[in-house]
Amino acid sequence: MAEHNELGKWGEDLAALYLQDKGYVILERDWHSGHRDIDIVARDGQTVVFVEVKTRRNRTFAEPETAVDFQKLRNLKQAANHYIKFRHIGYDVRFDVVTVVGTPGSEPEIMHIEDFQW
């Protein structure tokens, strides 16, 4: 696996653990709809949460959440729509972003942005 893919996997694993520690129930990881994917699908009470995880080694070039632009959010919403229909979801839904800054072996900085709006 390429180094950047390993970093991304590490970040997604941390994000899933972080959400579980906050009481979220992880329903799916890396769910695909064609070429679109959802990093984490979780339940927060009676709300289904679609989570985009952005992992970066540092903040040298930009804050990780800035990578969730209009196009990325549109793709995420299309994948979420497919997921809702495929799984027959009748709950409220929202979109969150979890950012992870650091590298394996370091103490990462994790930020959770609930109800992300671009």
> How do strand 92-101 and strand 109-113 relate by DSSP bridges?
antiparallel
User: What Å distances lie between residue 105 and 2, 13, 57, CA to CA?
Assistant: 18, 14, 12
Integer Cα distance of 91 and 12 in angstroms = 24
Q: What is the mean pLDDT of residues 110-117?
A: 95
Q: What is the radius of gyration, based on Cα positions, of the chain? A: 14
The pLDDT > 90 percentage for the chain reads: 92
- Element at 74 (helix H, strand E): helix 70-87
Over 90: is that where the pLDDT of 118 sits?
Answer: no
102 band by pLDDT with thresholds 50, 70 and 90: very high
Q: What is the mean pLDDT of residues 25-29?
A: 98
pLDDT given at position 1: 67
The token duo for 56 is 């970066």
The pLDDT > 70 percentage for the chain reads: 99
